[in-house]
Amino acid sequence: MSNSNTYGKNELIQLLSESREELDEFVRSTPSNDWNQYTSPHRWMGELTVGKWIELIGFHEKRHIHQIEEILQSSK
């Protein structure tokens, strides 16, 4: 991995994959009613519970899907 804040495409894919695997393992192994007992910092929003992180990730990915669809439509 790079030592700077600049990552290549393959590094970003690997980091995203690892992060997703860690979250997926946590979600599978932790009862959903316990998710709000665990927090992790967000750069701008402060501490978020796992439940809030899951919501945020869902909204974030939906936004990117919408952006991709817009780009594909505009390129026709």
Chain centroid to CA 16 = 7
Work out the pLDDT band at 1, boundaries 50, 70, 90: very low
Work out the pLDDT band at 2, boundaries 50, 70, 90: very low
Residue tagged 């994959």 (tokens):
17
pLDDT of 30 higher than 90: yes
Backbone phi and psi for residue 53, each to the nearest 5 degrees, phi listed first: -60, -45
What is the distance between the alpha carbons of residues 46 and 48, in angstroms, rounded to a whole number?
Answer: 6
What is the distance between the alpha carbons of residues 64 and 76, in angstroms, rounded to a whole number?
Answer: 19
Residue tagged 């979600």 (tokens):
27
Arithmetic mean of pLDDT, 20-32: 92
Work out the pLDDT band at 62, boundaries 50, 70, 90: very high
Residue 66: Cβ within 10 Å count: 10
Tell me the whole-structure pTM to 2 decimals: 0.67
